[in-house]
Chains A and B, each alone.
Chain A
Amino acid sequence: MKRTLILNVNGQEHEVEAESNRLLLQVLRDNLGLTGTKEGCGIGVCGACSVIVDGRLVSSCLTLAAGCQGKKIETIEGLAKDGKLHPLQQAFIEFGGFQCGACTPGQIMAAKALLDETPQPTEEEVKEWMAGNLCRCTGYYKILESVMAVVNNKIDPGFAFRKREQSAKIQSLDVYKAVAKTH
């Protein structure tokens, strides 16, 4: 049976009609058109559907929408404010923290949940926390580098998105070539 739910998503109240058994993932995508949250496995293992509810990271594919009434839901769509990217979003572009991008909204939300609570995690803490967000493209090195760039305040203050050559170079090709040429 359908019921009316009031959901606060990214600071906005939405009234939606949904069956009681609808998952938060389905309501976000199908009722609210917030398709940035992805379904990867449907069983809460891969983290692609990660969103933040009242400050806690949850798998929206295992969360009933009805249980989220009266709570603050944050999704990837709420991160950029006034045309300015969230530092994590910027870092993922600067440091190549994605390839296909299907897991990326979940990766960024997971990292945000961590940094909101622990702004200065160690690399090991990040690895432990982010182990619940699978990625099949990157091998995770650049995801880790992106998150650590925010932790260590290494992101470019003069950043403008898209195709601009970056000044920040941690793992630059030049470094590799230097290694290569010292033999």
Chain B
Amino acid sequence: MAKAEKFSVVGKRVQRFEGFDKVTGTSQFVADIQLPGELIGKVLRSPYPHARIRNIDTSRAEKLRGVRAVVTAEDTIKRPWGAFFADQYILSVGKARFVGEEVAAVAAIDPDIAEEAIDLIDIDWEPLPAVFDAEEAMKEGAPLVHDDKPNNITMTMDIERGNIAQAFAESDIVVEDTFTSMPQWHCSIETIGSVAEYAPGGKYTIYMNTQTLFNARYRIAAALGVPETDVRIIQSAVGGGFGGKSCDDNNALVAAVLAKKAGKPVKLINSREEEFLAGCRPRVFMKINVRLGFKKDGRIRAKHIKVIADNGAYSAKAPAITGVAAMRHDTCYKYTDVKTQAFLVYTNKIPTGAFRGFGNPSAEWAVEQAIDLGAHALGIDPIEIARINAAEAGYVSPHGNRVTSCELKQCLDMTEKMIDWKAKRANKAPNTGLGLACTVHVSGKRHFGDYDGSSATIKLNEDGKALILSGEGECGQGVHTAMCQIAAEELGVPVEDVEISRADTDLTTFCLGAFASRLTYVSGNAVKNAAANVKQQLHQQAAEMLEANAEDLASRDGRIFVKGAEGKAVTVADVARARLFRHNGAPIVGSGSFDADSVLPDSTRFGNESGAYNYGVQAAQVQVDPETGQVRILQFVIASDCGTVIYPLGAEGQVEGGLAQGIGFALTEGLQFDEGRPVNPNFSDYRIPSMRDMPLLQHAFADSYEPTGPFGAKGLGELNMDPTAAVISNAIFDAVGVRIKTLPITPEKILRGLREKKPS
């Protein structure tokens, strides 16, 4: 239940920690790093979606003046690597499996020479039959992307909880339909890049813009065949992550191989086209069939979902993403009997992977439209269907997810009020409609080994100011500011007295990084624990100075005082100095760690995957022009349950930015392929929303408190990307009675729907 707490730093509108650097252009992104003697790297990419490499001749490139290294798979240990399944190589071994795959690379003294050298590499290609569609790829006789994967199947799931046949038999109505989503690119304004160095003693140092440093180190070390200690990852400023910079691509590895061979630092930055071809791994393309059984009163009785997911050429995180698409939504409503079947299939296209929402946007696109179908079939207001089925605190999903806090119903109330749902429904203007969808997401996910934790160290300087050493990594979302607030709140100092370090695998302790909306919750708890440890040491020393018991002390605004006698006080700076400058002196350093109380899902994927679940509701009013099929979003409202809001500017930004990506996913974004070749890999033909495209928005945070979160907080980052496409589609259906089932929702599809409705 919601619980109001008085905080002095948490929840305050503090400035962003890195604000000055960001607005003055001094923030150092990876392309802004320049090391002495640095070379420029370029990659030769496969022009074929599937082709055997008979021979590579690099001799002409090597002879070009200014070239310092040319590398192919022969310069690597040819060991496959990957997040879940090891199936990709640093540089193609034997054959290439998608257009854009890294085949060879060059390091030279300037970009023009590097480019010229790439043209001088001669490859004897033997094009092979290729397959581009997941369903085609599963058929007997389809070309095999990986010779050891029959029918191109990467992974399958078939899970039933309860008794699905009986549940459908007991349903009063059943609705069923199939919905397809498009791949979506992250389109961070900064592309993926690295600057790698190799010390002859055997150590690689890689400056990179990854959002998951220690996972990057683990994978890079494995692919290079060296111990983790021999790889140091230092994070540059990260110009947007959204899952795309979680080291599932080869950029840093190619830079490392080049740096070793050249004996010089090598900078390798993706161009925008390279980013589309083979940089960040785009959202997994899915075809989802949903069948829902309802009772007459609106209760969902049965859910059967079938997912066919297009993996692309390599698996990256798609196995986990497919699982999320197939199961996550079962934590949103009070489901009892569910069946979930999924196929993840290799094709000769860019490997797909993690993008904000992690399978959930594709799933909610399908399931939340199926719920809407049910509401219409039953003649019940969609908001009431949501209310009837909404999860609550204490709910345990059929897959074992344990919900410790949930304000979904409050979010529904807030949404209803903000958009004036009842009145707008009662006075419906022509071609105008309302749509709504609910959403759930995790706060961390236990799937990288049996661990979903974080750790942090806080050292206190002799001026009383604290420095957090954290390896989690800011990727633009502002989490460093939230960490500073959490530490300041716990320490009882002003937020100005807390700083946070750059993430560096040699200097900070193990952290999994930014994914699964986990940082505020998981790393926030670790930072809070580290701060509590520092506070305990401070109070011990202060007790001596104040001649009091440590238990009787409290801290606020940088002062430590005796409870009930606030005049009896010392400053944190005084205490820090007193602890240091004395016999047996020592600086104050505190460590903290946290591992969420979640369960590694078993072989049937049963188990509480996260420590906390975040909820939300989105609704929109749209107007459809029946002449042109154009959709205008008249109003958008969002209510989010993320527990306590720690850093309001950042939290609001997550909501607003999530909506923008959701609108792009819904209306404009989609890379077109021609025989596996992307035809629009640039910002003029792949359209992300601009300022002009954003609708009137009102949003609110639920009054909520997560008992296991730091000061009651839980995750937020992905929540508002997830339901947007379904909201818009449901609103279009309400407006003109056309149900769009394939993304993106284009005017052409709406016009076609209108024509089919009224045959003339």
**Residues of chain A lying within 8 A (CB to CB) of residue B29:** 35, 38, 102
- As a 0/1 sequence over residues 124 to 158 of chain A, the CB contacts with chain B under 8 angstroms (1 = contact) are 00111011111111111111100000000000000
Which of A36, A41, A43, A89 has the most CB atoms of chain B within a 10 A radius of its CB?
A: A41
**Residues of chain A lying within 8 A (CB to CB) of residue B11:** 173
A113 at the interface (CB under 8 A from B): no
B697 at the interface (CB under 8 A from A): yes
Given A77-B25, A176-B700, does the pair A136, B15 have CB atoms closer than 8 Å? no
A181 at the interface (CB under 8 A from B): yes
Q: How far, in Å, is A22 (CB) from chain B's closest CB?
A: 10
Cα-based distance from A39 to B30 in the complex (angstroms): 12
B319 at the interface (CB under 8 A from A): no
Q: How far, in Å, is A27 (CB) from chain B's closest CB?
A: 14
**Residues of chain B lying within 8 A (CB to CB) of residue A144:** 691
Chain B residues 642 to 686 lying within 8 A of chain A, measured CB to CB, are: 645, 648-653, 655-661, 682-684
Which of B16, B188, B410 has the most CB atoms of chain A within a 10 A radius of its CB?
A: B16
**Residues of chain A lying within 8 A (CB to CB) of residue B651:** 173
Q: How far, in Å, is A141 (CB) from chain B's closest CB?
A: 5
Are the CB atoms of A43 and B683 closer together than 8 Å? yes
**Residues of chain A lying within 8 A (CB to CB) of residue B25:** 34-37, 75-77, 104-105
Q: How far, in Å, is B494 (CB) from chain A's closest CB?
A: 8
Are the CB atoms of B189 and A136 closer together than 8 Å? yes
Are the CB atoms of A45 and B239 closer together than 8 Å? no
Which of B24, B237, B239, B240 has the most CB atoms of chain A within a 10 A radius of its CB?
A: B24
Are the CB atoms of B691 and A41 closer together than 8 Å? no
Are the CB atoms of B660 and A139 closer together than 8 Å? yes
Given A100-B188, A100-B475, A164-B496, does the pair A180, B639 have CB atoms closer than 8 Å? yes
Are the CB atoms of A101 and B18 closer together than 8 Å? yes
A103 at the interface (CB under 8 A from B): yes
Cα-based distance from A102 to B245 in the complex (angstroms): 14
Cα-based distance from A134 to B657 in the complex (angstroms): 12
Are the CB atoms of A169 and B23 closer together than 8 Å? no
B604 at the interface (CB under 8 A from A): no
Are the CB atoms of A136 and B238 closer together than 8 Å? no
Cα-based distance from A39 to B495 in the complex (angstroms): 34
Count chain B residues whose beta carbon lies closer than 8 angstroms to a beta carbon of A.
79
- As a 0/1 sequence over residues 186 to 211 of chain B, the CB contacts with chain A under 8 angstroms (1 = contact) are 11111000000000000000000000
Q: How far, in Å, is B718 (CB) from chain A's closest CB?
A: 14
**Residues of chain B lying within 8 A (CB to CB) of residue A172:** 13, 648
B478 at the interface (CB under 8 A from A): yes
Cα-based distance from A130 to B24 in the complex (angstroms): 19
Query: In this complex, what residue of B is CB-closest to A97?
Result: B23
A80 at the interface (CB under 8 A from B): yes
A115 at the interface (CB under 8 A from B): no
Chain A residues 86 to 112 lying within 8 A of chain B, measured CB to CB, are: 89-90, 92-96, 98-105, 108
Kindly identify which residue among A79, A94, A141, A143 contacts B24, using a CB–CB cutoff of 8 Å. A79
Cα-based distance from A94 to B13 in the complex (angstroms): 9
Given A100-B475, A102-B239, A163-B495, does the pair A94, B272 have CB atoms closer than 8 Å? no
Query: In this complex, what residue of B is CB-closest to A79?
Result: B24
Known: A104-B25, A172-B648. 15 other contacts (CB 8 A): A29-B32, A34-B25, A43-B683, A100-B239, A101-B18, A101-B239, A104-B22, A104-B23, A130-B691, A131-B691, A134-B189, A141-B694, A163-B14, A173-B13, A177-B701
Interface residues in chain A, defined as those with a beta carbon under 8 Å from any beta carbon in chain B: 29, 34-43, 45-46, 48, 75-77, 79-80, 85, 89-90, 92-96, 98-105, 108, 126-128, 130-144, 161-166, 169, 171-173, 176-177, 179-183
Interface residues in chain B, defined as those with a beta carbon under 8 Å from any beta carbon in chain A: 11-29, 31-32, 186-190, 237-242, 271-272, 410, 413-414, 416-418, 475-478, 481, 484, 495-496, 639, 645, 648-653, 655-661, 682-684, 688-692, 694, 697-703
Closest 3 CB pairs of A and B: A36-B25, A100-B476, A102-B239
